[in-house]
Chain A
Amino acid sequence: MVFKQTAFIAWLALCALTLVTWAIGRAGYAGPLVAGLLLLSVMIKGQVVIDVFMGLRGVRGPWHWLVSGWLVAVLSLIGVAYWTGMQT
């Protein structure tokens, strides 16, 4: 089933990105570039869960963009907060 294959690939991608995040944490990398990359990876992971796992892609009504919008808004504002923190 095409759907099952999509879900499996999604699962692999999510695990891979998680391992990358963990590795970055272990290595102790910091700074705005790393923070940005981490946020980007969260964005991708989140969007995969929303589109594939939750199955919101192609759903009628406002639901898909509401939940994706949540992800974008929260992650952007987190980015702003981190940038603010770097100004001190």
Chain B
Amino acid sequence: MAARSSGNTAARPLPGDLAIWFFILAELLVFGVFFLAYAFARAGHVELFDHYQQTLDRTSGAVNTLVLITSSWFVVNAVSAIRANRADLCTRWLLAAMGGGAVFVAIKLHEFMAKAEAGITLSTNTFYMFYLSLTFFHFMHVLMGMVILGFVAAKAYRGDYDADHHTGVETGASYWHMVDLVWIVLFPLVYVMH
């Protein structure tokens, strides 16, 4: 993989605003602890977890994974575009990424509604408690990410960014990648591994 794409050997600066990276680390910490709580809780109830895991809509989860990965790739392209001073392309890639987010939201809502119709709640059993908590918590972050991307897209459209000034785009992009990264762990962990 040709990583030296920026053409210089000196270390590159952190993309986006420093503050968002503190925020990202905080979010990763919370999700990390939650994932581990899930894994260790499972260790005490292996059969229960394995059994009810079978009732999850794995295909929806997999499609959602592809959707988020693709939408993350769109965001990468948006950053590339603004670095090349193409604010118009940047805006379009960002909107496409938000579209991906919207697809994720729709599929997830469908999943939640199906579970609700089956009478499943946070109190049904420990597995479902974790499944609903983890995916709902992540869902809220997808929504937040879309709001952030929306702000950035609006600014890009208005011409607020160019090749030399686009920290906002990188900041929003970094947050979205975090949302993607978390789901990349969540899907196999909750939907597949047993």
Quick check: do A and B touch in the complex, using CB within 8 A?
Answer: yes
Classify chain B's interface size. 35 or more
**CB interface residues, B 175-194, toward A, < 8 Å:** 177-178, 180-181, 184-185, 187-189, 191-194
Residue numbers in A under 8 Å from B65 (CB-CB): 18, 21-22
Identify the closest chain A residue to B35 (Cβ). A74
Residue numbers in B under 8 Å from A61 (CB-CB): 11, 14
Going nearest first, the 10 A-B pairs with the smallest beta carbon separation are: A60-B11, A81-B39, A85-B43, A22-B62, A25-B192, A3-B5, A11-B73, A84-B43, A2-B5, A78-B39
Mask of A66-87 contacts with B, CB within 8 angstroms, 1/0: 1100110111011001101110
Flag whether B19 is at the interface (Cβ < 8 A): no
Smallest CB–CB gap between A16 and chain B, Å? Answer: 10
Mask of A25-38 contacts with B, CB within 8 angstroms, 1/0: 11000100001001
Residue numbers in B under 8 Å from A78 (CB-CB): 35-36, 39, 189
> What is A's interface to B at a CB cutoff of 8 Å?
1-4, 6-11, 14-15, 18-19, 21-22, 24-26, 30, 35, 38-39, 41-42, 45-46, 49-61, 63, 66-67, 70-71, 73-75, 77-78, 81-82, 84-86, 88
SS class, residues of chain A in contact with chain B? helix
Identify the closest chain A residue to B33 (Cβ). A74
Q: How far is the CA of A73 from the CA of B28 in the complex (A)?
A: 12
> What is B's interface to A at a CB cutoff of 8 Å?
1-6, 10-15, 21, 24-25, 28-29, 32, 35-36, 39-40, 42-44, 46, 50, 58-59, 61-62, 65-66, 69-70, 72-73, 75-77, 79-80, 84, 174, 177-178, 180-181, 184-185, 187-189, 191-194
The answer to whether B32 and A73 touch across the interface, beta carbons within 8 angstroms, is yes
Known: A53-B73, A53-B177, A70-B28. A81 touches B36 (CB 8 A): yes
Smallest CB–CB gap between A47 and chain B, Å? Answer: 10
Known: A6-B1, A63-B14. A22 touches B58 (CB 8 A): yes
